[in-house]
Amino acid sequence: MTKRIPTLFEDVDTDNSGTIDKSEWDALELEDRRRRLEDEDAHRDQTRKMAWFSLWGMLLYPFAVVLTGIMGLDSASAIIGSMASIYFVSVAGVVSVFMGVTNLAKSAVKKKPQEVDNR
């Protein structure tokens, strides 16, 4: 005995009429909008976490230099201190590129005309 797996069409055709009615299209559209909102929300959370992580890293980096100096690790302090210029530029670059690409992608999606199906 084989188990039958329903197709996507059968999942959408809730009244089993063999066609996708207006109400079923509306349900699909609503589900699509819900998924987009969830994706956008997750993306905003990801961006916020990246910004906070970068901010804390930039704020705590000087304390790491001071802490290694207090602990008597002068060579570590010198090495960490010499990496500071590269670290700050790199973190700022990663965050700015991520946010810039995100905004470019959003503007490309907004410019793309929406396909309308008037069935």
Q: 2-5: which pairs have CB atoms within 8 A and are 24 or more residues apart?
A: none
Domain containing 85: what range?
23-109
pTM of the model: 0.56
Is residue 10, in this structure, part of any structural domain at all? Answer: no
Cα(23)–Cα(53) distance, integer angstroms: 45
For residue 38, the model assigns a pLDDT of 93
Please tell me the total count of domains within the chain.
Answer: 1
Cα(96)–Cα(90) distance, integer angstroms: 10
pLDDT tens readout for residues 1-55: 566 665 666 666 667 776 767 777 788 888 889 998 998 889 888 888 888 888 8
Is residue 15, in this structure, part of any structural domain at all? Answer: no
Is residue 8, in this structure, part of any structural domain at all? Answer: no
3-state SS string for 59-113: HHHHHHHHHHHHCCCHHHHHHHHHHHHHHHHHHHHHHHHHHHHHHHHHHHHHHCC
Is residue 43, in this structure, part of any structural domain at all? Answer: yes
Is residue 1, in this structure, part of any structural domain at all? Answer: no
Is residue 17, in this structure, part of any structural domain at all? Answer: no
For residue 86, the model assigns a pLDDT of 87
Is residue 3, in this structure, part of any structural domain at all? Answer: no
Mean pLDDT (the chain) is 78
Is residue 75, in this structure, part of any structural domain at all? Answer: yes
